Amino acid sequence: MQIDKNVEKDGVIFMSIKDEENSSQNGNGSGIKSDQISGSCSVDGSEPDVTILAIESSCDETAAAVVRNGREVLSNIISSQIALHTVYGGVVPEIASRKHVEKINGCIRAALDEAGVTLDDIDAVAVTYGPGLVGALLVGVSEAKAISFATGKPLIGVHHIEGHIYANFIENKELEPPFVCLVASGGHSHLVLVKDYGDIEIIGQTRDDAAGEAFDKIARAIGLGYPGGPKIDKAAKEGNPDAYSFPRAQIPDAKYDFSFSGLKSAVLNLINQDRMQGKEINQADIAASFQKAVVEVLVDHSIEACREYGYDKLAIAGGVASNSLLREQMEKECAANGIKFYRPSPLLCTDNAAMIGAAGYYEYKKGVRFGLDMNAVPNLSLGSRERRFHAGKG
């Protein structure tokens, strides 16, 4: 993975992420030529290539990508606002929406240029339409609708969490459903069975905080700041994971559900006790012990689901999937249990548009087409989401 990073004048980080394979194949990384795209066929010659322009703006990353046949990333541009929100200790929705408006055209232009294509070469526009922050989602949705209207290309709404799951297909060309997937992000913790493309059954979910949310809250409480996940991950490397024994919640009537509120309270109580006794809190030890408790539950549930449902493939997805201990422990436990383990590179675990292009492709192949009445759905649910099939276009 080749990453070009550039901090802009307003503090926003602009990243171009290229698959090494594609950048070397295409020489200077400018992507393949337009005439190679239009009307070209997949390797075995059976089906024409499908090139998708994908847009993501559900939280604090404005992103655009061009993805071919669901798994080949021709360009992947991310404009990250993390630095802007750091001073507030978390994402400020109003600032996020305004920055999306400022950055989205530049991201799309960069994605098309880097892929070496124009809008004429695109077969469809895919966009995250939920879940997420409504003002942020609306920027991507409006942009995608405008492009679809202007070019006549089909419009496809993608579920953000499905996007995270499909990020696994990008670097693991051989991965096919069925598999178990743990999705752990800032807003969601789901354990799902990916039975087929677009056929996802939720077997467990969080009862309270999402795993990433717990990381963010604890990081703030121990003074590490935002974004919490990566900071705890780093601090934990210097700490003792057995310094404190924090609770691991098991929910008796729903063994695959998660609950992180008890763990969060235990950490907050410890911090308060230390402070009341005038003791200095040990950030590294708390980070390491907290991280161990979260990771243990995520790994145990995932392995148990593979065993019970008889799946021999396990994938992880979402921002928390970039956690180094989670990756290490999953790898170890999968090897011990004869399960093949899949995970995206850390940069494809956090929000990006390449994953939306991957999910958009499989929706496109199913015939999913949205009309210009598409709207942002901030609380879009995963299992039972509507799929829209419009006759006509594309």
Q: Is 186 in the site for ligand KG4 (CB under 6 A)?
A: yes
For residue 351, give the amino acid letter. Answer: D
Per CB under 6 A, which of residues 124..183 are in contact with ligand KG4?
A: 164
Is residue 219 a contact partner of residue 232, using CB atoms and an 8 Å limit?
A: yes
Using the contact rule CB under 5 A, the part of the chain among 12-20, 147-155, 277-285, 349-357 near Zn ion is 349-357
Q: Which is nearer to Zn ion, 153 or 159 (CB)?
A: 159
Q: Which is nearer to ligand KG4, 122 or 235 (CB)?
A: 235
Give the H/E segment covering residue 148. Answer: helix 134-151
SS3 sequence of the chain: CEEEEEECCCCCEEEEEECHHHHHHCCCCCCCCHHHHCCCECCCCCCECCEEEEEECCCCEEEEEEEECCCEEEEEEEEECHHHHHCCCCCCHHHHHHHHHHHHHHHHHHHHHHHCCCHHHCCEEEEEEECCCHHHHHHHHHHHHHHHHHHCCCEEEEEHHHHHHHHHHHHCCCCCCCEEEEEECCCCEEEEEEEECCEEEEEEEECCCCHHHHHHHHHHHCCCCCCHHHHHHHHHCCCCCCCCCCCCCCCCCCCCCECCHHHHHHHHHHHHHHHHCCCCCCHHHHHHHHHHHHHHHHHHHHHHHHHHHCCCEEEEECHHHHCHHHHHHHHHHHHHCCCEEECCCHHHHCCCCHHHHHHHHHHHHHCCCECCCCCCCCCCCCCCCCCCCCCCCC
Using the contact rule CB under 5 A, the part of the chain among 17-25, 309-317, 328-336, 344-352 near Zn ion is 344-352
Instruction: Compose the 125-154 pattern: x for residues touching Zn ion by CB under 5 A, - for all others.
Output: ------------------------------
Compute how many residues bind ligand KG4; rule: CB under 6 A: 21
Q: What is residue 326's three-state secondary structure?
A: helix
Q: Is 350 in the site for ligand KG4 (CB under 6 A)?
A: yes
Q: Which of 351, 352, 362, 376 binds Zn ion (CB under 5 A)?
A: 351
Q: Which of 19, 114, 143, 233 binds ligand KG4 (CB under 6 A)?
A: 233
Q: Which is nearer to ligand KG4, 122 or 219 (CB)?
A: 219
Per CB under 5 A, which of residues 190..249 are in contact with Zn ion?
A: none
Q: How far is the CB of 363 from ligand KG4 (least distance, A)?
A: 19
Where do we find the tokens 């087409």? 369
Q: How far is the CB of 38 from ligand KG4 (least distance, A)?
A: 34
Q: How far is the CB of 164 from Zn ion (least distance, A)?
A: 6
**What token pair was written down for 375?**
């709207």
Q: Which is nearer to Zn ion, 65 or 117 (CB)?
A: 65
Q: How far is the CB of 32 from ligand KG4 (least distance, A)?
A: 29
Instruction: Compose the 292-331 pattern: x for residues touching Zn ion by CB under 5 A, - for all others.
Output: ----------------------------------------
Using the contact rule CB under 6 A, the part of the chain among 228-236, 274-282, 330-338, 369-377 near ligand KG4 is 228-236
Q: How far is the CB of 109 from ligand KG4 (least distance, A)?
A: 23
322 binds, among Zn ion, ligand KG4, none (CB under 5 to 8 A by kind): ligand KG4
Query: What whole-number distance in Å separates Cα of residue 177 and Cα of residue 276?
Result: 52
Which spans of this chain sit near Zn ion (rule: CB under 5 A)?
185, 351
Which spans of this chain sit near ligand KG4 (rule: CB under 6 A)?
59, 164, 185-187, 212-213, 215-216, 227-230, 233, 318-320, 322-323, 350-351
